[in-house]
Structure 1
Amino acid sequence: MQAGSGIQIQGLSHAIGPRRILQGITLRLDAPRIGIIGRNGSGKSTLARLLAGLVAPSEGRVLIEGVDVCKDRRAAIATVGILFQNPEHQIIFPTVLEEICFGLRQMGRSKLEARDAAQATLARFGKSHWIDATTEALSQGQKHLLCMMAVTAMQPRWLILDEPFAGLDIPTRMQLTRHLESSGANILHISHDPRDLAGYGHVCWLDQGQIRAEDGPDLLAEFEAAMIREGAGDDLADLAG
């Protein structure tokens, strides 16, 4: 990996009060499709927010294409975008147009430039008729698509996916995946489901806040086998981790 390219995670640790969520993660990632696999409670969502620069780490730093995503927020929003599992945690404006324009305005676009870019994005996704729609009128799948449009309108070089397909039906997942594949961005996809990451060029296994393994050809199968073994146990308290 060339200096300043891809994702560099350097000595990353994070705690919330006395609880240590992530511990000593160091990774260098530069494949166009990267997967992070882990069970619920392993620190995946915290890692996603750190990678997007939404949370300051307790220790270490994240560089994406050479940008310190926590310290240089202006550069970060042009470099990396994030899609959450629940679009309700991402949508903050009452109308579709305002939602798409917000990130563009944060990048320094004028109101007119942001509106033009938002209209172009809606047209590209075949949703020009949404321009005056309210966000609360959208279905769950449509809200996921709105979040994707708002993020891709900023043309980030990387997209962080924090299980955005969880709970969606198969047709909706397929449509969103098709839009992601045509976005032109590199993707880091975080999931608990090995099926989401099949065919990815680089996969890391996050376990109890640390990287347990990475990039082995059988890693996803090993993860699934480990989850089946744990699920066969009788102590459901362990599964709530």
Structure 2
Amino acid sequence: MPPPNPPVGLTLENAGFTAAGRVILSDLTLSLTEQRIGIIGRNGSGKTSLLRLLSGLVAPATGTVRVDGLDPARDRKAILSRLGILFQNPDHQIIFPTVAEELSFGLHQQGMAKPAAKAAMRAMLAQHGRSHWEDRPVTALSQGQRHFLCLLSLLAMKPATILLDEPFAGLDLPTQSRLTRTFDALPQRLILITHDPAALARYDRVIWLEQGRIRADGPPTTILPDFTTEMTRLGEVDADTDLSD
């Protein structure tokens, strides 16, 4: 049972994660309370693993992870209204054949009766000018449209925090622009993984991961110039030579 007055936000205390005997994340202690938080780092630095840890998709090998005082790996149903994750590839997230079924699934998980879930699903589509999608097969949607459907499925459940794993990857510029406007207007806390420092210029906080540890943590005006300088330096040499097999 959650504490009567749980802390608001996401916290990690000496959290670590190991996969196939390999340490992916180690000694992470963070309190994530800001409205806009960015996570940057090279490929293989542990960014996506951190989001999976925060969302409860994997449990920490060491330490603790809490979302508003709850253990996301154990309190799965309670977490639904507190936290959602938008994966980089929508096909890793969509599980139902039609838009209506996909949008309604999370609402059913939250205990909403079928008539109420149907009404909420239709209201969500109408709010975003997508009422004509209701009976459409998911396979008839473009990648950008499927990505947007995944976002609508999350928003329907009204989580307090949304985790975004490279949400613009593989999308054309107009779709990226539309998604950016949507993200900017959301009242939820956003935690965004990106390789684009410019996307985080107006964020409250940026965390730089390197080899599963925090290299730097602070405002974008402090972190992003150092990150850009280091990535430029690595680009001028054989940038893969320092990565382990």
TM bin (shorter chain)? over 0.9
**Structure 2 residue aligned with 1:19:** 22
Distance 2:157 2:200 in 1: 25
Question: Aligned partners of 2:227 and 2:53: how far apart in 1?
Answer: 24
1:229 aligns with 2:233: yes
Q: 1:235 to 1:197 in 2, by over 3 A?
A: closer
Identify the match of residue 131 of structure 1 among 129, 134, 153: 134
1:49 to 27, 49, 52: 52
Is 1:36 aligned with 2:39?
A: yes
CA distance in 2, matches of 1:133, 1:235: 45
Q: Contact 1:7 / 1:65 at 8 angstroms: preserved in 2?
A: yes
Matched position secondary structure for 2:112: coil
**Shift of the alpha carbon at 1:147?**
0.5
Higher mean Cα deviation, 61-70 or 2-11? 2-11
C-alpha RMSD of matched pairs (Å): 1.7
Query: What runs of 5+ residues in structure 1 fail to find an aligned partner?
Result: none
Deviates more, 1:132-141 or 1:174-183: 174-183
Tell me if 1:58 matches 2:61: yes
Give the corresponding residue for 1:100: 103
Gaps of 5+ in 2: none
Q: Secondary structure at the match of 1:206?
A: strand
Residue among 156, 159, 174 paired with 1:156: 159
Contact 1:152-1:183 within 8 A present in 2 as well: no
- Measure how far apart 1:238 and its partner are: 4.3
Moved more, 162-171 or 132-141: 162-171
Aligned to 1:114: 117
Give the AA of the match of 1:219. I
Q: Describe how 1:83-98 pairs up with structure 2 within 5 A.
A: 83-98=86-101
Return the offset for 1:167: 2.1
Q: Give distance in 1, aligned partners of 2:42 and 2:146.
A: 26
Deviation at 1:61, TM superposition (A): 2.2
Q: For 2:195, which of 163, 176, 192 is the aligned residue? A: 192
Q: Would the aligned equivalents of 1:70 and 1:76 in 2 still touch at CA under 8 Å?
A: no
Q: Name the residue aligned to 1:142.
A: 145
Percent of residue pairs bearing the same amino acid type: 49
1:64-108, CA deviations, whole angstroms, 9 ceiling, x for partnerless residues? 222221121111111000111111111111100111111111111
**Amino acid in the other structure paired with 2:126:** A
The structural deviation recorded for 1:235 is: 5.5
Secondary structure, counterpart of 2:27 in structure 1: strand
The question of 1:218 aligning with 2:222 is answered yes
The equivalent residue for 2:76 is 73
How many residue pairs match? The answer is 240
Give the AA of the match of 1:220: L
